[in-house]
């Protein structure tokens, strides 16, 4: 199929950019819609999409990626509740704070905001703020309005918070309570329209997180500039941690609160500890972190057992095969481990962690291309497999394919923004290619995450470096100082 015309149309109308990796998703959406519409040729279907807005919207709904969950990047929500709300209320005590969520997907983000506000301000929350949320995907918006969620939405929320704000409506299914749902308004809207709806104008705070990833750099700039226009002077705009630097284009001021970065419009409100970041151009490369080639499988064991249980709870035979493959890998009997893993994958093709272990073993055997194929296969089964993206980043890095490595580690951060390992490797690669301010920023995030002690998960299980938290923290600090020293010179 020639997907070119569809790509152009989606870019022109919605700003959506389809890289090679996402072409398959677009093509399968087109085929599915063709089949539903009883149309046999893609060219004929394209004509229908051109003329028929409903059909175009249906196609859009199928190609958007709605991945989201409650309390994602909770640091931002804390800044909102603890810092911005008091500041903005202090500046205009009689006005509600107007919050706009752009690209709200199925509603987890706006409801998280209301929940955090209720946690702090109790019943006054809905008097302090109004929350408007929109998304281009009308199916996602309908789901947001319904407010019913399954386990994956709650993966970052403790049960006790969930139980305060949700009612059970089925096994592992919960509905948001009315007092959180009602203050949030939803609508379908397109970020890439020339004009935004009137009600979005003059807002105090915009959340625009994990959306720009679907746009090319020019479209990102255009949309960010348009969103900045909606902000009142003194307002704030959040993008996700991974999107921060690509939006530092001189439209809004990048500011820091409590170690997190966000954008600010104008300078009418003074905050003692707000620090504006200074920009810096690329300089000479300074690589200070020694490469480690060895891959210790030992430390993988415990977590892999856990994963095995998670993915294959009832299948004893698969368990046993996996354990055997693991212990063979630990003994460096890689060929034999691979043989067991192949058997396991043949019998249990959706046993995702078997692919990851296989990829790790292949890396140990210095067969990175095969490891790469296995990781891609793994992603076919589990689209958001953090470990697969981390290993793909690592493989690209050892092959000196820095652009690919950066992209892969960013993908990992897209799945889990607090994955210190991805931040660390981004810091390393940026340092290597001379992007010093990016490198410094990534080391700072890594250091912060390590200090928080949030290091037991997020994909390090399969990663081929030895990890010691104290050492890593020192390493980051050392590199930050060095980078800053070089910048100042
Ligand atoms: C990955 S979700 C992010 C959800 C949420 N902001 C978060 O951070 O968890 C990206 C959302 O952006 C939406 N989106 C993509 N292009 C858009 C556009 N042109 N206008 C409005 N929403 C768009 C998608 O439909 C999708 O629901």
**Tens of pLDDT along 118-166?**
999 999 999 999 999 999 999 999 999 999 999 999 999 999 999 999 9
Q: How far is the CA of 275 from the centre of ligand 1 (A)?
A: 29
Return the higher-pLDDT residue of 458 and 103: 103
Ligand 1 geometric centre to CA of 307 (Å): 30
CA proximity to 358, closest of 383, 385, 14? 385
CATH class of 298-488: mainly alpha
Ligand 1 pocket residue status of 260, Cβ below 6 Å = no
DSSP track, 260-280? EEEEE--S-S--TT-EEPPP-
Summary mean pLDDT of the chain:
84
Q: Which ligand 1 atom is the nearest neighbour of the CA of 105?
A: 27
Whose Cα sits closest to atom 24 in ligand 1? 64
Report domain extents, the chain.
4-63, 74-276, 298-488
> Does an H or E element contain 234, and which?
strand 231-238
pLDDT higher than threshold 80 for residue 402: yes
Q: Which two tokens stand for residue 54?
A: 């409903």
Strands 253-257 and 260-264: what pairing?
A: antiparallel
Nearest CA to ligand 1 atom 12: 103
CA distances from 371 to 95, 119, 376, 382, 385 (A): 57, 46, 9, 16, 15
Over 70: is that where the pLDDT of 339 sits? yes
Ligand 1 pocket test, pick from 145, 211, 230, 410 with the greatest ligand atom count within 8 Å of Cβ, gives 211
Q: Are 340 and 328 in contact (CB under 8 A)?
A: yes
| pLDDT tens profile 253-274 | 988 887 788 999 974 332 222 3
Across the range 238-252, mean pLDDT stands at 88
In the predicted model, what is the mean pLDDT of residues 207-234?
Answer: 94
Angle, CA of 200, 201 and 203, to the nearest 5° = 85
Distance 65 CA to ligand 1 centre (A): 7
What pLDDT was estimated at residue 454? 56
Using H for helix, E for strand and C for coil, what is the string for 291-303?
CCCCCCCHHHHHH
Q: Chain centroid to CA 81: how far?
A: 22
Q: What is the pLDDT of residue 463?
A: 55
Atom of ligand 1 at shortest distance to CA of 14? 19
| Low-confidence winner among 79-88, 236-245, 300-309 (lowest mean pLDDT) | 300-309
May I ask the CATH architecture of the domain 74-276? 3-Layer(aba) Sandwich (3.40)
Task: Render pLDDT for 407-460 as a digit per residue (tens, 0 to 9).
Answer: 999 888 877 777 888 999 999 999 999 999 899 999 999 888 888 765 555 555
Confidence at residue 351, expressed as pLDDT on a 0 to 100 scale: 82
CA distances from 53 to 28, 50, 197, 247 (A): 20, 7, 19, 31
The 10s digit of each residue's pLDDT in 42-77 is 999 999 999 999 999 999 999 999 999 999 999 999
- What is the model's pLDDT at position 489? 42
Strand 253-257 to strand 275-276: parallel, antiparallel, or no bridges (unpaired)?
Answer: antiparallel
| pLDDT surpassing 60 at residue 245 | yes
Contacts of 54 (CB under 8 A, 6+ apart): none
254 Cβ inside 6 Å of ligand 1? no
Q: Tell me the pLDDT band of 241, cut-offs 50, 70 and 90.
A: confident
Task: Outline where DSSP puts E strands in 17-159.
Answer: 97-102, 129-135, 148-149
Mutate to test the pocket of ligand 1, among 59, 113, 135, 200 (most ligand atoms within 8 A of CB): 135
The confidence score (pLDDT) of residue 295 equals 31
Does position 103 have pLDDT exceeding 90, yes or no?
Answer: yes
Burial class (CB in 10 A: 0-12, 13-18, 19+), 390: buried
Per the document, the length of the chain is: 489
């Amino acid at each position: 199929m020639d997907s070119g015309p569809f790509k152009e149309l989606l870019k022109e109308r919605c700003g959506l950019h389809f890289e090679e990796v996402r072409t398959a998703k677009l093509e399968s959406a087109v085929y599915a819609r063709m089949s539903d519409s009883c149309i046999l040729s893609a060219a004929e279907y394209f004509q229908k999409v051109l003329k028929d807005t409903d059909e175009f919207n249906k196609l859009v709904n199928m190609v958007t990626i709605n991945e989201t969950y409650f309390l994602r990047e909770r640091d931002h929500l804390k800044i909102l509740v603890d810092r911005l709300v008091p500041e903005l209320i202090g500046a205009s005590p009689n006005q509600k704070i107007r919050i706009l969520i752009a690209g709200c997907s199925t509603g987890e983000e706006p409801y998280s905001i209301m929940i955090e506000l209720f946690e702090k301000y109790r019943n006054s929350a809905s008097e302090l703020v109004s929350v408007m949320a929109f998304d281009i995907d009308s199916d996602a918006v309908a789901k947001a309005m319904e407010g019913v969620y399954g386990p994956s939405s709650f993966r970052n929320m403790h049960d006790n918070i969930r139980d305060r704000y949700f009612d059970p409506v089925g096994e592992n299914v919960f509905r948001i309570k009315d007092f959180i749902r009602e203050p949030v308004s939803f609508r379908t809207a397109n970020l890439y329209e020339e004009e935004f709806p009137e009600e979005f104008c003059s807002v105090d705070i915009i959340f625009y997180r994990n959306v720009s990833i679907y746009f090319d750099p020019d479209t990102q700039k255009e949309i960010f500039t348009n969103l900045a226009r909606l902000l009142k002077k003194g307002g704030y705009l959040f993008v996700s941690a991974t999107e921060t630097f690509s939006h530092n284009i001189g439209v809004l001021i990048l500011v820091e609160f409590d170690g997190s970065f966000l954008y600010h419009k104008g300078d009418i409100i003074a905050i003692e500890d707000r620090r504006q970041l200074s920009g810096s151009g690329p300089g000479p490369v300074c690589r200070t972190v020694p490469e480690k080639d060895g891959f210790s499988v030992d430390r993988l064991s415990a977590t892999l057992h856990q994963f095995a249980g998670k993915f294959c709870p009832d299948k004893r035979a698969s368990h046993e095969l996996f354990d055997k493959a693991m212990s063979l890998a630990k003994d460096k009997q890689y060929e034999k481990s691979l043989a067991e893993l192949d058997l396991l994958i043949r019998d249990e093709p959706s046993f995702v962690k078997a692919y990851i272990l296989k990829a790790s073993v292949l890396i140990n055997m210095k067969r990175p291309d095969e490891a790469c194929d296995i990781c891609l296969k793994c992603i076919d089964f589990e689209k958001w497999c953090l470990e697969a993206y981390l290993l793909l980043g690592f493989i690209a890095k050892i092959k000196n394919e820095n652009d690919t490595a950066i992209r892969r580690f960013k993908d990992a951060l897209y799945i889990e923004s607090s994955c210190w390992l991805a931040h660390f490797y981004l810091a390393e690669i940026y340092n290597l290619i001379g992007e010093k301010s990016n490198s410094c920023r990534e080391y700072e995030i890594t250091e912060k995450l390590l200090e928080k002690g949030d290091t037991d998960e997020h994909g390090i299980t399969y990663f081929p470096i030895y990890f010691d938290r104290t050492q890593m923290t020192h390493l980051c600090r050392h590199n930050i100082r060095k980078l800053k020293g070089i910048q100042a010179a």
